[in-house]
Structure 1
Amino acid sequence: MNMDKKPLLGMTLSELQVLVSQAGLPKFTAKQIASWLYKKKVTNIDEMTNLSKKNRDLLNQEYTVGAANPIQAVKSVDGTIKYLFSVGDKNSIESVYIPDEDRATLCVSSQVGCKMNCLFCMTGKQGFSGNLSANQILNQIQTIPESDTLTNIVFMGMGEPMDNLDEVLKVLEILTSDYGYKWSPKRITVSTVGVRKGFERFLQESDCHLAVSIHTPIASQRKDLMPAEKGLPISEIVNILRDYDFSKQRRLSFEYIMFKGVNDSISHAKKLLELLDGLECRVNLIRFHAIPNVDLNGSDMETMTVFRDYLTKNGVFTTIRASRGEDIFAACGMLSTMEKNKNK
């Protein structure tokens, strides 16, 4: 990608309308450009053949489509593919493609590194290098070979989406708008640990599904695992969520990584039920993928099954998420950390 030119990919229709107005192009050109970018997925401006040659030349002076292919792809025996993208300054980010029968999900990143510093997360160990632009987020979705077959997008990759909400909301608009991908918001899930400045705004400005990373119902323990608990406690998050109707359009789920001997007891399950009482939600139990220099181990399947069955029996629909891609650095941030260390 030519770094001297501004990327068009990732621009909303309103941003394209400003662009064409400033460039002295006809108003309708904005919708034409959007169609070429998001429906036809062109990779250079010269492919936009219903724009005059003069107007294409004008755009080419300052702009580029801004699509950049992944620099590496690692495929698992189970079909999962982890893609690595360069985002400049010797930094890289990851996306994970997960095929599963009639579903094809892409897990995308929203930041380079992460400020949240959760104890169990490799991305947090990298520190924070910067927010991804809408261009860099959407590029993960648009440039992989499986782009046209995707059924679902989850913002569960590197970074905290609500710590970069302006850019994430732009991408959500493009994915769900008539001028863009025209996806239903029900095909998109945004995950968060709970960030005060972005949490309620997301609820108000997006209809996409919400997944809250909880990992323990006990505040003091959550603070040790997830420092974000200090900024926005899980009890406050739950109180905010009680004011929203999750019974129809939007789905609310809680992500719960299970650590052996830490948060996997029936006592924890009981406290979780008390915390979530009255909320229309589901719980996804996740097996922990070990990371270097962290003294945590994943719960065994028998313990996870007992935990799941207890929650489901007591009215909270609970699933155990299948582990995928364990042979290709499955833990989020592992592949990009290796690339970062290689570039030092």
Structure 2
Amino acid sequence: MATYRSVFDAAELRAQLNDAGINTKFMASIWKYVLQNPGCELGEIPDLPSSAYRLLRTKFKPFTSTVHSVFHSTDGVTTKLLIKLQNGAFVEAVIMTYDTRLGKYGGKPRLGGPRSTLCISSQVGCKMGCKFCATGTMGFKNNLTSGEIVEQLVHASLLTNIRNIVFMGMGEPLNNYTALVEAVRVMTGSPFQLSPKRITVSTVGIIHAINKLHSDLPGLNLAVSLHAPVQEIRCQIMPSARAFPLEKLMTALQTYQKNSQQKIFIEYIMLDGMNDEEQQAHQLGKLLETFQVVVNLIPFNPIGSSSQFRTSSDQKVSDFQKILRGTYNIRTTVRKQMGQDISGACGQLVVNLPDKRTRENTSLLTDIEDLRI
């Protein structure tokens, strides 16, 4: 069976158009038409050079992935999409919806209204093996193409208007670096026009990729899954940390921040008795006190009855936050948990195919991250 490339695979589409002597300016109009007409055939796209139609018909498809199932959380704010890829593998993407009018900011009511954030996967499975993450139990299967990454945004956009993107789904984004860069460039160009400031890439700390990320994707938000303030604990819960020593990682982050002049988001999962004591709060504060950061404390989401970790108590999380804020003046938030009932919360993304009863069109609209508030 012939294998087609996604029409949203920018590098491949650009190369094929160039080889055929067709102006690449038509790429944006091709994407716009497919976005507006998701069930279309590529031959229906108007106003292309005649030579473009044969190329599109023989090499590309509007979508190489399909939405297999949609799950809606009972809270009405999280939606998980189970997406089937052309090779038969599955990935998950999660939509989280927030109402920015709820709560206050700086003592004043917030402006705005509902907005949605999409959590995108970059790989099938993951080779990092973080012990608190369900995706790590899958092992690594394969990288997604840039088109398959962008298609997650297209599928989600058919359900709701997506304002923010976080690469915090399945996989380590910086281990699929070329496809990540290509996908983000598509998302920030026409017709998607997302601001780089509304796109966040999360990494466990792939140092060589962090060193070139700002020059390739300026303005992007960087989030680092730190999860421990000392190398020994990091290695216990994140085996990949052995390849990325904490001291070298912090040096890379200093350089990144100097070049980008942007805050860095620090993700810190709260594991009872492992990394949530007052001593570790002070160690983390001292590690980060020279940086401009936002620390996001993440309550651990159980990934099965056999998990070796327990969730930190609310009191421990609160005490940890108070030390970072009060002693070190580090902006610290606690992530609101969304979509736990559909295994759509942080660390819970692992492909479990639903049975026929749960495959029905259950709706799901939930947001995954609120890093910029």
Both proteins in one fold, TM over 0.5: yes
1:31 match: 25
Select between 74-83 and 147-156 the one with higher mean Cα deviation: 147-156
Deviations for 1:119-164, whole angstroms, at most 9, x for unmatched residues? 1111111111110110111111111255661110000000000000
Gaps of 5+ in 1: none
Matched, 1:328 2:339: no
Residue of 201, 209, 232 corresponding to 1:198: 209
Select between 153-162 and 242-251 the one with higher mean Cα deviation: 242-251
- Work out whether residues 141 and 147 of structure 1, in 8 Å CA contact, stay in contact via their aligned partners in 2: no
- Work out whether residues 94 and 335 of structure 1, in 8 Å CA contact, stay in contact via their aligned partners in 2: yes
1:9 match: 8
Deviations for 1:201-244, whole angstroms, at most 9, x for unmatched residues? 21331121000001110210110100121111222211111123
Q: Helix, strand or coil: the match of 1:120? A: coil
| Change in CA separation of 1:187 and 1:57 when aligned onto 2, cut-off 3 Å | same
- Work out whether residues 106 and 150 of structure 1, in 8 Å CA contact, stay in contact via their aligned partners in 2: yes
1:291-330 equivalences under 5 Å are 291-292=303-304, 293-313=306-326, 314-330=328-344
Deviation at 1:16, TM superposition (A): 3.7
- Work out whether residues 165 and 198 of structure 1, in 8 Å CA contact, stay in contact via their aligned partners in 2: yes
2:62 match: 65
| Change in CA separation of 1:335 and 1:21 when aligned onto 2, cut-off 3 Å | closer
**d(CA) in 2 for partners of 1:190, 1:271:** 25
Q: 1:316 corresponds to which letter in structure 2?
A: I
**d(CA) in 1 for partners of 2:2, 2:223:** 35
**d(CA) in 2 for partners of 1:54, 1:243:** 47
Residue of 150, 168, 188 corresponding to 1:156: 168
Deviation at 1:341, TM superposition (A): 11
- Work out whether residues 68 and 143 of structure 1, in 8 Å CA contact, stay in contact via their aligned partners in 2: no
What is the percent sequence identity of the aligned residues?
A: 32
1:1-344 equivalences under 5 Å are 3-12=2-11, 15-25=12-22, 27=23, 30-38=24-32, 41=35, 42-43=37-38, 44-52=41-49, 55-78=52-75, 79-101=77-99, 102-146=114-158, 149-177=161-189, 179-207=190-218, 208-245=220-257, 250-292=262-304, 293-313=306-326, 314-331=328-345, 334=348, 336-339=350-353
**d(CA) in 2 for partners of 1:18, 1:145:** 27
Gaps of 5+ in 2: 100-113, 357-373
Deviation at 1:246, TM superposition (A): 6.3
**d(CA) in 2 for partners of 1:3, 1:251:** 45
Deviations for 1:268-318, whole angstroms, at most 9, x for unmatched residues? 100001111210111000111111222101112121111112111121100
- Work out whether residues 92 and 336 of structure 1, in 8 Å CA contact, stay in contact via their aligned partners in 2: no
Q: CA RMSD in A?
A: 2.4
Q: 2:89 corresponds to which letter in structure 1?
A: N
| Change in CA separation of 1:246 and 1:73 when aligned onto 2, cut-off 3 Å | farther
- Work out whether residues 4 and 64 of structure 2, in 8 Å CA contact, stay in contact via their aligned partners in 1: no
**d(CA) in 2 for partners of 1:39, 1:245:** 39
**d(CA) in 1 for partners of 2:346, 2:87:** 20
Q: Helix, strand or coil: the match of 2:156? A: coil
- Work out whether residues 5 and 64 of structure 2, in 8 Å CA contact, stay in contact via their aligned partners in 1: no
Structure possessing the higher relative contact order (Cα contacts under 8 Å, 6 or more residues apart): 2
| Change in CA separation of 1:265 and 1:60 when aligned onto 2, cut-off 3 Å | same
**d(CA) in 2 for partners of 1:6, 1:65:** 9
Q: 2:95 corresponds to which letter in structure 1?
A: Y
Select between 138-147 and 160-169 the one with higher mean Cα deviation: 138-147
**d(CA) in 2 for partners of 1:323, 1:158:** 18
**d(CA) in 1 for partners of 2:33, 2:238:** 40
| Change in CA separation of 1:58 and 1:163 when aligned onto 2, cut-off 3 Å | closer
Deviation at 1:77, TM superposition (A): 1.4
| Change in CA separation of 1:238 and 1:340 when aligned onto 2, cut-off 3 Å | farther
Q: Helix, strand or coil: the match of 1:257? A: strand
Number of aligned residue pairs: give it. 335
- Work out whether residues 262 and 292 of structure 2, in 8 Å CA contact, stay in contact via their aligned partners in 1: no
Deviations for 1:60-106, whole angstroms, at most 9, x for unmatched residues? 12222235331011100122011111124442111000001133100
